[in-house]
Amino acid sequence: MTRNISATQTKTKLETKPNRKGRRRRSRELALQGLYQWRVAGGTVEAIEEQLHETREFLKTDEKYFSDLMQGVLANLTELEKHIQPCLDRPLKELSPVEFAILLLSTYELASHPETPYRAVINEAVELAKTYGGTGGHKYVNGVLDKLAVRLRAEEVKLQVRAKT
């Protein structure tokens, strides 16, 4: 005997549970959009945040995390750029706006969010670069962030390397 199941009855556990990782990922995506907009069109962080708050996607974010990312990156821009530049093979101004925004976002997370494992930060950045960046941009972002992780999270990286051997 077969049973007809409607689409509304087939929700998985993931769809019914709050998904913190998913909310953080969407927070990163919106922060990336905001940083891209800031880089390309200018504007204040407050105006950009307000505009993004009005989107439907914002309902799926971790609002505090999103605000921390946007405000934290722009408040610490000079310091973040100083961390990034030694790991690049070209001047910052030659990076695409998407790669630049992803590197700023991820560098801020590496520097300011030790509760997030460095590998998670890098993996999220690579996924953003695959989705929004140019061809091969994810490889470049991965290489730069690997170097940055050694600088900003030396102990965590050493522990990870030891655990693998």
CATH number for 88:
1.10.940.10
Q: Is residue 139 part of a domain?
A: yes
Q: Please give the pLDDT value at position 54.
A: 83
Q: Is residue 152 part of a domain?
A: yes
Q: Is residue 138 part of a domain?
A: yes
Q: Is residue 1 part of a domain?
A: no
**Number of independent structural domains in the chain:** 1
Q: Please give the pLDDT value at position 86.
A: 97
Q: Please give the pLDDT value at position 90.
A: 94
Q: Is residue 83 part of a domain?
A: yes
Q: Is residue 42 part of a domain?
A: yes
* E-assigned strand segments in 27-98: none
84 touches 107 (CB < 8 A) = yes
Domain hosting 114: range is 19-164
Distance of CA 71 to the CA centre of its chain: 14
Q: Please give the pLDDT value at position 12.
A: 38
Q: Is residue 7 part of a domain?
A: no
Within the chain, which residues score under 70 in pLDDT? 1-21, 165
Distances in Å between the Cα of 74 and the Cα atoms of 18, 106, 124 are 29, 13, 20
Whether this prediction's pTM lies above 0.95 is answered by no
Residues 162, 165: Cα–Cα separation, whole Å: 5
Q: Is residue 39 part of a domain?
A: yes
Please name the amino acid found at residue 161: V
Q: Please give the pLDDT value at position 19.
A: 52
Q: Please give the pLDDT value at position 20.
A: 54
Residues 103, 106: Cα–Cα separation, whole Å: 5
Q: Please give the pLDDT value at position 21.
A: 57
Q: Please give the pLDDT value at position 161.
A: 76
Q: Please give the pLDDT value at position 55.
A: 80
Residues 37, 56: Cα–Cα separation, whole Å: 18
Please name the amino acid found at residue 84: I
